[in-house]
Amino acid sequence: MDDGGIPAKDGGKDAKSDGAIYGDGGGVCVATCGTDLDCQNTCPPVVNSGINCCDQGTNKCFPVADTVCPAPVDQDAGQPPPY
């Protein structure tokens, strides 16, 4: 079933994306990413000089409307220390 996203590179289910932020152009995001560069080299271009980034928690690409990727969020941020 087509969910309207960008087709997955492996031919599986489509990868969800924010269609409003991706511009026209080729490229298909990698199924799983390890670095921001993986996404920047494979995903479609982002409109208005945005950039593609890799979510280190899910290993999925996502677009941002900025020229740099956000810093990874520490999974333990905001959690009280163990006792």
Instruction: Determine, yes or no, domain membership for 83.
Output: no
Query: Has residue 17 got a pLDDT over 90?
Result: no
Phi then psi for 67, rounded to 5 degrees?
-100, -5
**Number of separate domains in the chain:** 1
Query: Has residue 52 got a pLDDT over 90?
Result: yes
Query: Has residue 8 got a pLDDT over 60?
Result: no
> Residue 58 corresponds to which tokens in the numbers above?
């899910």
Euclidean distance between CA atoms 81 and 83, whole angstroms: 6
Instruction: Determine, yes or no, domain membership for 15.
Output: yes
Q: Which domain holds residue 52?
A: 7-69
Average pLDDT estimate for 37-62: 94
Instruction: Determine, yes or no, domain membership for 34.
Output: yes
Instruction: Determine, yes or no, domain membership for 58.
Output: yes
Instruction: Determine, yes or no, domain membership for 61.
Output: yes
Average pLDDT estimate for 55-76: 88
Mean pLDDT of the chain: 74
